């Protein structure tokens, strides 16, 4: 099963920092997925072995969905004061949970770790 665009965006945001290079084509994403232009507050939670490893949320919908996911993913991975910055090996082993705070309620989506995904593909 492929990752949703939103979860892939969160993963790519963290990976940009770990690889120290910009790889997200924001213009392409905004053209292909107009919903990313909407102002929606998000929460990004990271888990390793089902234990919280980082979290960051927006209080208000002041940024586009694209910018909010990018910002919150990076903050949860590298700026959560309760944890040290995420390492590459932890990134490969972490699950990402994305919560969208919409007017209709909270929508939740979770992504398994990259290592877990690779393990299941080989079985």
Q: Distance between CA atoms of 120 and 95, rounded to whole angstroms? A: 15
pLDDT tens-place values along the chain, 123 residues long: 346 999 999 999 999 999 999 889 999 999 999 999 999 999 999 999 999 999 999 989 999 999 999 999 999 999 999 999 999 999 999 999 999 998 888 999 998 887 775 544 433
Domains defined for the chain, CATH in brackets: 5-122 (3.30.700.20)
The three-state DSSP-derived secondary structure of 49-86 is CCEEEEEEECCCCCCEHHHHHHHHHHHHHHCCCCCCCC
pLDDT score, position 117: 58
User: Strand, coil or helix: what is 37?
Assistant: helix
Q: What is the pTM of this model?
A: 0.88
Q: What is the pLDDT of residues 28-46, one digit of tens each?
A: 999 999 999 999 999 999 9
- Which residues on adjacent β-strands are paired with residue 108? 99
């Amino acid at each position: 099963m492929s990752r949703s665009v939103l979860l892939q965006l969160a993963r790519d945001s963290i990976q940009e920092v770990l690889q120290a290079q910009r790889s997200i084509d924001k213009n392409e994403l905004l053209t292909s997925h107009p919903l990313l232009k909407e102002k929606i507050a998000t929460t990004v939670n990271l888990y390793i072995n089902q234990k919280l490893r980082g979290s960051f949320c927006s209080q208000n919908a002041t940024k586009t969905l694209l910018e909010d996911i990018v910002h919150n993913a990076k903050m949860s991975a590298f700026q959560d004061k309760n944890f040290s910055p995420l390492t590459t090996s932890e990134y490969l082993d972490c699950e990402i949970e994305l919560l969208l705070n919409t007017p209709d309620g909270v929508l939740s989506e979770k992504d398994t770790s990259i290592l877990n995904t690779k393990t299941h593909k080989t079985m």
